[in-house]
């Protein structure tokens, strides 16, 4: 044991309280993300009297680690006063909160090193188990409760800021979606007097292709006349480049920035991209594997399973098309089309699913206003996304520094 470390065992005790009176009906599962989640188990006909009760500020973990990769299922209850968990789970609590803070202990459990430790210490011939004795043998620095609270406060400040940014971006996205529907579906964009266009008697004209009326001066264009599917192969002039497959992007985010030797790249690593391109996976549109290229990307190379969509015209900014292509109803339409084809994976192509799609273009003033709104939306969205990346790295650094916490020497 390191000189400043103490065993966890003297500070925790197992809890085995059953739901014998059926007082609780909220059943939770435990995720490898270290959170409680709503249970997906089929509970029809289940006797809930046998299930364990977990109270607020208590912990639950799944001793069986053999089916969870390199992680352990463990969670700390904060969202409920009490809930039920499987009788196969282990519930425990801290004996004295004046000596060890539950939030501080949870920070220790959040470290990736704890995942590796719990997997290393798991044993068994059929299933690998991280049993209660092993949990009690966990060693960690336990400074004064004041120091623990100071560390927890710093950690929570970062965590809360990340959560706030995510909430604000969610609200921002919902607002943009609602505004898009208001303007481009219901045609209630503001007229010259600032009143809703259609309900204020704005002139509407019949469009044969849509079999519906659209505002006067608006026009319908084929999407293929606005964007193209760019497929120029990368020239591979450098020995190392950053390769992206469909799994490496998600809802606008590039999930890594790792360079790879070109000789080790998969055979489908061919396309080059540039700033302003829209990457869109051909496989399962509902998985939202898409991204807008926001930086100069001369070191990027992408799989042939990613469509590289590029504007044919300067009449629109890239985010105008990016928003159109990632609008939830449009994605549902693409997914429905993909599932209608035979094959192993629901798949789309530019020629069959995008090229001839109708793209409604407003009059110049409305397009300019809508583009300005989108510009503000994406600037705010990506500002918070980028800030969260820094905050996440800061949080990880704070967790890693827990091993260097100095524990005050006890006075004999």
Question: Which CATH number belongs to the domain containing residue 329 in this structure?
Answer: 3.90.220.20
In the predicted structure, residue 132 carries a pLDDT above the cut 50: yes
**Are residues 223 and 348 both part of a single domain?**
yes
Whether residues 40 and 119 fall in one domain = yes
User: Are 309 and 278 within 8 A, CB to CB?
Assistant: yes
Question: Residue 205: in which H helix or E strand, if any?
Answer: strand 204-207
Band of residue 342 on the pLDDT scale cut at 50, 70, 90: low
- Whether 191 is in a domain gets the answer yes
- Is residue 255 assigned to a domain? yes
Q: Which of 142, 173, 199 is the last residue of a domain?
A: 142
CB-based contacts of 303: which residues, under 8 Å, 6+ apart?
A: 243, 244, 245, 246, 266, 268, 269, 270, 271
Residue 389 domain boundaries = 149-207+362-401
Which of the 8 DSSP states describes residue 193? T
Asked if 26 and 19 count as a contact pair (C-beta separation under 8 A), the reply is no
Residue 409, pLDDT above cutoff 70: no
Do 26 and 111 sit in the same domain of this protein?
yes
Reported for 76-82, long-range contacts at CB under 8 A and 24+ positions apart, including other chains, are: 76/34, 76/102, 76/103, 76/105, 76/106, 76/109, 77/36, 79/36, 80/26, 80/28, 80/36, 80/56, 81/55, 81/56, 82/24, 82/26, 82/53, 82/54, 82/55, 82/56
**Among candidate residues 92, 124, 142, the one where a domain is terminated:** 142
More confident residue, 215 or 47: 215
- φ, ψ (nearest 5 deg) of residue 21: -95, 5
Residue 202 domain-assigned? yes
Strand partners, 38: 28
317 and 190 co-located in one domain: no
Q: Domain check: are 105 and 10 in the same one?
A: yes
Q: Which region among 92-96, 233-237, 327-331 has the lowest average model confidence (pLDDT)?
A: 233-237
Q: Where are the alpha helices (DSSP H) in 82-219?
A: 102-110, 112-121, 132-136, 145-184
Residues 294, 189 share a domain: no
The pLDDT mean for the chain works out to: 92
Q: What residues pair up with 250 in beta bridges, in sequence order?
A: 253
Using CA atoms, how far apart are residues 367 and 375, in angstroms rounded to an integer?
12
Q: What phi and psi, each to the nearest 5 degrees, are found at residue 151?
A: -65, -45
- Return the number of other C-beta atoms located less than 10 Å from residue 51's C-beta: 23
Shared domain check, 311 and 192? no
Q: What is the SS3 assignment for 101?
A: coil
Q: What is the pLDDT of residues 200-230, one digit of tens each?
A: 999 999 999 999 999 999 999 999 999 999 8
Global confidence as pTM: 0.85
What is the bridge-based pairing of β-strands 219-222 and 358-361? antiparallel
Structural domain includes residue 346: yes
Q: How many residues does the chain have?
A: 412
> Are 108 and 65 contained in the same domain?
yes
Establish if 285 belongs to a structural domain: yes
More confident residue, 14 or 230: 14
Q: Per the domain annotation, does 408 fall within a domain?
A: no
Per-residue pLDDT for 410 more than 80?
Answer: no
Residues 265 and 349 in one domain: yes
In a domain, 266, yes or no: yes
Q: Which residues of 157-189 are buried (b: 16+ CB within 10 A; e: fewer)?
A: ebbebbeebeeebeebeeebeebbeebbeebbb
- Say if residues 65 and 119 touch (Cβ distance below 8 Å): yes
Q: What is the pLDDT of residues 292-319, one digit of tens each?
A: 999 998 899 999 899 999 999 899 999 9
Do 163 and 269 have their domain in common?
Answer: no
- Per the structure, the count of domains in the chain is 3
Which is more confident, 238 or 318? Answer: 318
State residue 195's pLDDT score: 95
* Phi, psi angle pair for 331, to nearest 5°: -65, -40
Kindly report the backbone phi and psi dihedral angles of residue 177, in degrees, each rounded to the nearest multiple of 5, phi listed first: -65, -45
Report the distance separating Cα 177 and Cα 182, nearest Å: 9
Query: What is the CA angle 379-381-383, rounded to 5?
Result: 65
318-326 helix and 364-400 helix, angle to the nearest 10 degrees: 80
- Report if residue 411 sits inside a domain: no
> Do 244 and 154 share a domain, yes or no?
no
- Tokens 């997997």, located at residue: 119
- Residue 183 CA to residue 120 CA, distance in Å, equals 57
Point out the domain boundary residue: 101, 126, 142: 142
* Strand bridging mode 139-141 / 5-7: antiparallel
Q: Are residues 11 and 52 in the same domain?
A: yes
């Amino acid at each position: 044991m390191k000189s400043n470390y103490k065993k966890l065992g003297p500070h925790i005790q197992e809890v085995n309280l059953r739901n014998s009176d059926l007082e609780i009906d909220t059943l939770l599962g435990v995720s490898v993300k270290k959170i409680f989640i709503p249970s997906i188990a089929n509970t029809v006909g289940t006797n809930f009297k046998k299930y364990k009760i977990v109270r607020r500020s208590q912990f639950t973990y799944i001793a069986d680690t053999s089916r969870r990769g390199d992680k352990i299922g463990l969670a700390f209850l904060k969202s409920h006063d009490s809930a039920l968990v499987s009788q196969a789970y282990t519930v425990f609590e801290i004996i004295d909160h004046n000596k060890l803070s539950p939030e501080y202990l949870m920070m220790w459990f959040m470290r990736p090193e704890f995942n590796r430790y719990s997997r290393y210490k798991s044993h068994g011939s059929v299933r690998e188990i991280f049993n209660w004795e092993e949990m009690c043998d966990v060693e960690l620095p336990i400074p004064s409760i004041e120091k623990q609270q100071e560390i927890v406060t710093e950690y929570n400040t970062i965590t809360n800021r990340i959560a706030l940014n995510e909430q604000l971006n969610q609200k921002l996205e919902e607002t943009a979606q609602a505004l898009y529907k208001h303007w481009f579906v219901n045609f209630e964009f503001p007229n010259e007097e600032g009143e809703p266009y259609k309900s204020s008697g704005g002139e509407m004209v019949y469009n044969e292709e849509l079999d519906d009326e659209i505002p006067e001066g608006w026009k319908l264009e084929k999407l293929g006349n606005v964007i193209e599917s760019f497929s120029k192969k990368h020239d591979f002039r450098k020995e190392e480049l950053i390769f992206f497959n469909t799994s490496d992007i998600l809802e606008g985010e590039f999930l890594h920035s790792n360079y790879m030797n070109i000789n080790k790249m998969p055979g489908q690593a061919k396309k080059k991209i540039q700033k302003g391109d829209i990457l869109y996976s051909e496989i399962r549109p509902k998985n939202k594997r898409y991204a807008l290229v926001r930086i100069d990307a001369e070191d990027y190379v992408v799989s042939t399973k990613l469509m590289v969509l590029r504007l044919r015209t300067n009449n629109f900014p890239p985010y105008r098309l990016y928003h159109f292509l990632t609008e939830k109803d449009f994605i549902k339409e693409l997914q429905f089309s993909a599932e209608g084809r035979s094959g192993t994976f629901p798949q789309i192509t530019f020629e069959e699913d995008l090229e001839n799609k109708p793209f409604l273009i407003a009059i110049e003033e409305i397009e300019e206003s809508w583009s300005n709104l989108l510009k503000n939306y994406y600037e705010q969205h990506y500002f918070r996304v980028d800030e969260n990346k820094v905050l996440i790295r800061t949080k990880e650094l704070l967790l890693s520094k827990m091993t260097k916490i100095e524990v005050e020497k006890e006075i004999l």
